[in-house]
Chain A
Amino acid sequence: MNIVVTVKQIPDPAVPGELNPDNTLKREGKLILDESDSYGVEMALQLADKAGGGDVILVSMAPNGEVSGLRTALAMGAAKAILVSDDALHGADALTTAKVLAKCVGRAGDVDLVITATEATDGYTGTIPAQLGELLDWPSLTFTKEIVIADGKAKVQRQTEAGYDEVEAPLPAVVSVTAGVVEPRYPSFKGIMAAKSKPVDQVTVADLGLADDIAPNQKIVNVAAAPAREAGEKIEDDGEAYGRIVEFLDQLKVI
């Protein structure tokens, strides 16, 4: 079974984000594997293993030929990667990103399953999985926490407000996985060494036949700092602070 995993390479989320003068997200310097996608990579490796073989292929769109995040996922065990890096994609909107990723799935050959995260850590638009499903004309099973592949079908548990739904679809299909559902493996030393020589197919939008279809259809027109909230009273617990909480709740007439 061949599985494509979309992996986004993002600026370190621990460092506060910044905007470029043209109001696009600053994505310079080293990018890393979005942790949200490490669950998809792990899930794919486990599913390929259970199926008794097949490749896990990564696809990513990132500026400046960035491969650091891809190498991390290759070191976990993915076989190869397709990277789309093209200045023409600067400021790409969500639909353009989905178009690029869908073309990459086509380029990856015979694919049974595409796994994505539910939303990217840096931009968190959260629509790529459904957009990809529609562009490929495949069913999409979103917000899943468990995937079983059997009889040519993907059977998943899909998160809902009230609990979860059991949902299934025939392959090929797109599945988005929620964070924390599997324990991503740490790359071994051997894996890290092997990753250095695994193939990364670097392509441009022209290679994908998309050159005329990528202009962003949205723009940021205003940027402001979020209003701050004032801090109130702060007391050190001396063994009686609970009493102050009771008083406070009392004043608010909620007890």
Chain B
Amino acid sequence: MKIWVFAESEGDKPTTATLELLTKAREIADTVEAVYVGKNSDAIAPQLGEYGAAKVFTADQGDALSGVIGAAVIAGLVEAEAPDAILFVQSYDGRDAIGRLSAKLNRTVLTNATSLAVDGETLKVGNAIFGGNTLVESEFDGPKPYLVAVRPKSFVAEPGGAGAAEVVPATDVNAGRGADAKLIERHVEEREGPKLEEATIVVSGGRGLGEKDNYEPLVEELAKLLGGASGASRAIVDAGWVPYAKQVGQTGKTVKPKVYIALGISGATQHMVGMKGSDNIIAVNKDAEAPIFSVADLGIVGDVKKVVPQLIEALKARK
């Protein structure tokens, strides 16, 4: 099977989720190739090669959106190159690309995948439904290529030790009116400490914090002391206490840190699907019956406004 990966970057590095897909593709496919849309393919392509891409098809999106251009690039190549499956990261640009490509090629999509397996000519795509309670495995029925979007953190990224990838600039790129969407300006919000998906320790807060003003001194402060990242339940994202980028769960990020600390979070299935893969879970909740305790290695039945300041003091005293 020939598998393509739609690669994305952050700065001059491929995103970790991209490398996860290449690693998995190496395991299940005979041929792995990538498509990258960006202005820095010189920097990105060799790194994609290290993770298993034998070839990288490249294009510059100009001032259009990279997902939209990515779909056009792939659509221009599939007939000649005949990939059997194309993998996308379940990300903003990945979802633009797979959606647009789906309509261009008249092929449906499977998304939110968390596992992939090849069985002869079929691709088995696993994902969790009903807020993570049920796992289903699906197959495509129609003609190839199969289009799949995969959630970050579904696989572990490992370099494959292969050489540099062959770089092939794409020439037939027709994005139609899709290309009329123009990027005017980027706004980058400052972040202290590690990224949420990559942190060793994640401290998340929920509605049990009581009010917005408690997030900084309880959640952020503890995360900072532990060298970790701060996260949140959807309840407090929707309430406007913290930005969406911090949301953990079904409609937010999946995290798998060494330690996940849930403060005042009840443990709805849609939250837990994003964090129950953590190595260790600590929960503080004043309700002894809160579902979060069913996954916690250490559960404290108590008030976050009492326990957390004490914990912070104790940690500071150790330093």
Pick the residue among B108, B177, B244 that contacts A137 (CB under 8 A).
Answer: B177
Q: Which residues of A contact B139 (CB under 8 A)?
A: 218-219, 221
A135 at the interface (CB under 8 A from B): yes
Of B22-30, B156-164, B288-296, the one touching chain A: B288-296
Given known contacts A162-B186, A232-B296, A124 and B181 CB-to-CB distance under 8 angstroms: no
Q: Does A44 contact B (CB under 8 A)?
A: no
- Do A255 and B95 have beta carbons less than 8 Å apart? no
Cross-interface CB contact of A96 among B97, B108, B191, B302, cutoff 8 Å? B108
Residues of chain B from 62 to 95 with CB closer than 8 A to chain A in the complex: 65, 67-68, 71, 90-92, 95
Q: Is the CB of B238 within 8 A of A179?
A: yes
A237 touches B187 (CB 8 A): no
Shortest distance between the CB of A237 and any CB in chain B (Å)? 3
Residue of A nearest to B197 (CB): A161
> Measured between alpha carbons, how far is A145 from B112 in the docked complex, in Å?
22
> Which one, B90, B100, B181, B297, contacts A141 given CB within 8 A?
B181
Secondary structure type dominating chain A contacts: mixed
Which of A104-112, A197-205, A243-251 sits within the interface?
A243-251
Contacts of B191 in A (CB 8 A): 162
CB contacts (< 8 Å) of A242 on chain B: these are 307-308, 310-311, 314
Find out whether the CB atom of A249 lies under 8 angstroms from the CB atom of B259. Answer: yes
B128 interfacial by beta-carbon distance below 8 Å: yes
Known A124-B112, A162-B189, A245-B282; judge A226-B298 contact (CB<8 A): no
Interface string of B232-264 (1 = CB under 8 A from A): 000001101000110000110000001100000
Complex Cα gap A12–B164 (Å): 52
Size bracket of the B interface: 35 or more
From A167, A236, A252, give the contact of B301 (CB < 8 A): A236
CA distance A134 to B181 in the complex (A): 12
Most chain B CB within 10 A, of A96, A127, A130, A224, is at A127
Within 8 A of A (CB), among B83-134: 90-92, 95-100, 102-104, 106-112, 124, 128-134
Shortest Cβ distance from B291 into chain A, in angstroms? Answer: 10
Checking A129, A222, A244 against B137 with a beta-carbon cut-off of 8 angstroms, the contacting residue is: A222
User: Contacts A161-B91, A162-B186, A242-B314 hold; do A95 and B135 have CB atoms under 8 A apart?
Assistant: no
B99 near A164 with CB under 8 A, answer no
**Does A150 reach chain B (CB closer than 8 Å)?**
no
Are B92 and A158 in contact (CB-based, < 8 A)? yes
Known contacts A133-B178, A241-B307, A246-B315: does B108 contact A163 (CB below 8 Å)?
no
Q: Which residues of B contact A135 (CB under 8 A)?
A: 103
A217 at the interface (CB under 8 A from B): yes
Q: Which of A94, A140, A165 contacts B187 (CB 8 A)?
A: A165
8 A Cβ contacts from A117-174 to B: 119, 124-131, 133-135, 137-143, 155, 157-170, 173
Q: Decide if B137 touches A221 in the complex (CB within 8 Å).
A: yes
Interface range on chain A (Cβ under 8 Å from partner): 35 or more
A144 to B173, CA, bound (A): 26
**Cα distance A128–B250 in the bound complex, in angstroms:** 18
CB pair A134–B178 under 8 Å, yes or no, is yes
Interchain CA distance A159-B245 in the complex, whole Å: 9
Please determine whether B92 and A243 come into contact, CB atoms closer than 8 angstroms.
no
Taking the nearest CB of chain B, how far is it from the CB of A247, in angstroms?
Answer: 9
Verify if A233 is at the interface (C-beta below 8 Å from B). yes
- Tell me the nearest residue of chain A to B185, going by C-beta: A166
Contact (A216, B91) CB under 8 Å given A179-B238, A234-B293, A237-B306: no
Contacts of A224 in B (CB 8 A): 134-136
Give min CB distance, B140 to chain A, whole Å: 5
Q: Which of B110, B178, B238, B282 interacts with A218 by CB under 8 Å?
A: B110
B299 touching A167 by the CB < 8 A rule? no
Q: Does A235 contact B (CB under 8 A)?
A: yes
Q: Within 8 Å CB of B302, what residues of A?
A: 236-237, 241
Q: Assuming A130-B95, A237-B300, is B245 touching A161 (CB within 8 A)?
A: yes
B257 — nearest CB in chain A belongs to which residue? A254
How many whole Å from A242's CB to the nearest CB in chain B?
A: 4
Q: CA–CA, A178 to B243, complex, Å?
A: 12
**Is A53 an interface residue, CB under 8 A from the partner?**
no
Q: Is the CB of A16 within 8 A of B135?
A: no
Most buried by A among B99, B134, B244: B99
Which residues of A have CB within 8 Å of B251?
119, 124, 179
Contacts of A173 in B (CB 8 A): 180-181
Residue B298 contacts which of A124, A165, A233 (CB distance < 8 angstroms)?
A233
Whether, in the assembled complex, B3 has its beta carbon less than 8 Å from a beta carbon of chain A, the answer is no
Chain A to chain B contacts (Cβ below 8 Å), 7 pairs:
A95-B106, A131-B99, A169-B180, A231-B295, A237-B302, A241-B307, A242-B311
The 8 closest A-B pairs by CB, nearest first: A130-B99, A237-B302, A217-B142, A134-B103, A232-B297, A127-B99, A222-B137, A234-B299
Which B residues contact A (CB, under 8 angstroms)? 10, 65, 67-68, 71, 90-92, 95-100, 102-104, 106-112, 124, 128-142, 149, 176-189, 191, 200-201, 226, 237-238, 240, 244-245, 250-251, 258-259, 276, 280-282, 288, 293-303, 306-308, 310-311, 314-315, 318
